[in-house]
Structure 1
């Protein structure tokens, strides 16, 4: 089942409420770190909190924290928690509509409260689905970011698997951020325009750096990050829409584990700038956007091994010299193609097999 997380900003909580949220977070974090070292953590129940403190705390949060600590300890991922945000399962957190406003209600140190949230237009449809019960609500978290408080609610839903038989392969890179192949049809997303915009951001930050305007630099980075996210949303939406329009049942993308080492800069004189773009463009984010949008549409998503996808011809001949920049020409049969499109075709065929 596909899953997304709905992040809802609490609408202007009072200073008293913010102080209470801080207190809840601090107590929960201290409890989580104490529990992590408890000799019987795997068998812990909500009663274990009495060993930690005589203060009263929310059993709903305690139970959720115990589950989180057990999970982290089992995977050996945590040596300590900087923050353990308070979590609420679907029985303890409710999303409701009050007139024109949406509210979330959850237990606190004082009582159960209903808090209005800022619902963006694109979020309202998901909130309505939560209220109607057409999606499944997961364990939510109350957290703070940049002095604002949010509720993050994971939601999952059933999708009807597409009956399309076509396979779409997607190749990622710098000169073309994405190239798709589906049968005889293809789609290219050029990287030159976004590279130009990113150079402008970089040049502006260098200028601000010389002027020692560090706060403005920080805001510039945040602005660029939001812009990149928006670009990835637009690209992924176009790709999935094209897949639906052409009866695609499976989307395949290369495993991005080693993409930074596999992708090379176009020119030596651009190596420094291209390298910066390569290491900071959100390829993984783009892949995840395509994944969840595809799953929402009932299209199966698969990752394939990327080895030799740029060197292999449709005749089966594989040779590094087959590719020269954006030109692919088979040294054996003479077949020519756009190099990134050839890569997308081979990814669609999964010539090196599916990723584990």
Structure 2
């Protein structure tokens, strides 16, 4: 066995770590937990429990009693005597399912799977969705089977409560939850394709195969009522529905890759090159978490190679092997026209093809 194969198997055996940002209104409660020594400072993290990727963690803490953590609903957990607010539903479906089903105190609005399906159904109007959301809120939260996700046929996760961590940066707190995830391939067919991904909002992704095939994923259109027409509780539920719908779309991309790819290449994106509006929309629609966290971790569990490549110029470079002319004027919105050789195409498809070429090359 080669060293790289040994390292890949070692990474696969490590738990997945999902990071959730804690709301600022809970910071006083966190300092109270630290004062009471319910959160204990860690001088050095155990192997495999690295600080936040892409975030400079100043201090990390672990719970003195892991069973002190209780998930109450999608936005509230209790640690000891205090409640901590965060978007606990912002997890990949297998992890979200594992966390909610392991939490006896968890309560949620009833009928959310039907509500999410209705919002994603063509022909629904914002007024109809608004009435359904307000009706769910009026019924209140109840115990029972959690909704807001579609169970995965390939990935199964188990929550590890003993490995809850809290990370503190210079200005923020984050919760780290650990999961052990297993993968079951649905098809026994041997997969040989290498695939390049161009990731965005609409299209959500374009997958370019090395045989020239292209597959485009578009987000599901939703009937979204205006926020000012909703009560505060209904606004919160609407935000959860938007994220759950985006997660469902993103996980369809992942299901496609696990069926068609043996190695995936994606752009190594950072916030530095993104507009604030794009980042905000990507967070709301689950695209941000999918690109920066779920994609790499899930492909690792599935045993599929994954490499990030330099994103510079991927959608402004001509994909023709005998040209490769790169200029910002080659792209106009979603249209690509090479100013050197005249090649025309879709800019997102060109981006995916160039990601693949750059990854292989």
TM-score between the two structures when normalised by the length of structure 1: 0.52
C-alpha contact (below 8 Å) 1:250/1:302 kept by paired residues: yes
User: Which residue does the alignment assign to 1:35?
Assistant: none
Distance 2:271 2:200 in 1: 14
The offset of 1:172, in angstroms, is 2.4
Partner SS for 1:292: helix
User: Which residue does the alignment assign to 2:357?
Assistant: 349
User: Which residue does the alignment assign to 1:223?
Assistant: 237
Q: Give the 5 Å matches for 1:138-157.
A: 139-140=163-164, 154-156=178-180
Residues 186 and 126 (structure 1 numbering): CA distance in 2 closer, same or farther, change over 3 Å? same
The partner residue of 1:232 within 233, 240, 246 is: 246
User: Which residue does the alignment assign to 2:128?
Assistant: none
Residues 158 and 283 (structure 1 numbering): CA distance in 2 closer, same or farther, change over 3 Å? closer
The offset of 1:138, in angstroms, is 5.3
Q: Which runs of 5+ in 2 are unaligned?
A: 1-10, 20-28, 69-79, 82-101, 107-144, 167-174
The offset of 1:338, in angstroms, is 1.2
Partner SS for 1:181: strand
User: Which residue does the alignment assign to 2:317?
Assistant: 312
C-alpha contact (below 8 Å) 2:157/2:181 kept by paired residues: no
The offset of 1:141, in angstroms, is 6.1
Distance 2:355 2:267 in 1: 6
Residue 265 of structure 2 corresponds to residue 243 of structure 1:
no
The partner residue of 1:284 within 277, 283, 288 is: 288
Larger radius of gyration: 1
The offset of 1:163, in angstroms, is 8.4
Partner SS for 1:303: strand
User: Which residue does the alignment assign to 2:7?
Assistant: none
The offset of 1:336, in angstroms, is 1.8
User: Which residue does the alignment assign to 2:343?
Assistant: 335
Residues 69 and 245 (structure 1 numbering): CA distance in 2 closer, same or farther, change over 3 Å? closer
Distance 2:18 2:56 in 1: 28
User: Which residue does the alignment assign to 2:228?
Assistant: 206
Distance 1:25 1:275 in 2: 27
1:230-269 C-alpha deviation (Å, 9 max, x unpaired): 23332232222222322432342341423533x9xxxxxx
The offset of 1:137, in angstroms, is 7.3
As a proportion of its length, which structure holds more helix? 1
Distance 1:291 1:115 in 2: 27
Q: How many residues align?
A: 246
Q: Give the 5 Å matches for 1:36-55.
A: none
C-alpha contact (below 8 Å) 1:137/1:156 kept by paired residues: no
C-alpha contact (below 8 Å) 2:265/2:359 kept by paired residues: no
1:147-203 C-alpha deviation (Å, 9 max, x unpaired): xxxx98513468899985532222223331222222322222235725xx4xx34xx
Distance 1:338 1:280 in 2: 26
C-alpha contact (below 8 Å) 1:306/1:352 kept by paired residues: no
TM-score between the two structures when normalised by the length of structure 2: 0.52
User: Which residue does the alignment assign to 1:323?
Assistant: 331
The partner residue of 2:197 within 155, 166, 170 is: 170
User: Which residue does the alignment assign to 2:16?
Assistant: 4
Residues 138 and 154 (structure 1 numbering): CA distance in 2 closer, same or farther, change over 3 Å? farther
Residue 332 of structure 2 corresponds to residue 300 of structure 1:
no
